[in-house]
Amino acid sequence: MTQPAYDPFGEPVPAVAPSAASERASKWLKSAGTGVFWALVAGIVLARAVYFEPGSFSFDQAVAWVQGVFAFL
């Protein structure tokens, strides 16, 4: 026998048997969401690799920008 569950107001929550259909849908949604996430990660990394410009960022420019911010403050 399972322990009774209670909602935040102290009322007992009726036990509901998990159905196989909702479990199947949950697994499908989880795998679909995981696939979409990794597809976005791969797309972003690929786009960064394609559009990367080696000379566009240098440490000297970053230091000059930080010094400009501190001078502004």
pLDDT in tens, 12-71: 888 776 665 567 778 889 999 999 999 999 999 999 888 877 776 778 888 898 999 999
Beta bridge partners of 13: 5
Could you tell me the CA-to-CA distances from 48 to 16, 19, 43, 61 in Å, in that order? 48, 44, 9, 20
Give the pLDDT score at 69.
92
Confidence class for position 2, pLDDT limits 50, 70, 90? low
Give the pLDDT score at 21.
59
pTM: 0.48
**Is the confidence at residue 73, as pLDDT, over 90?**
no
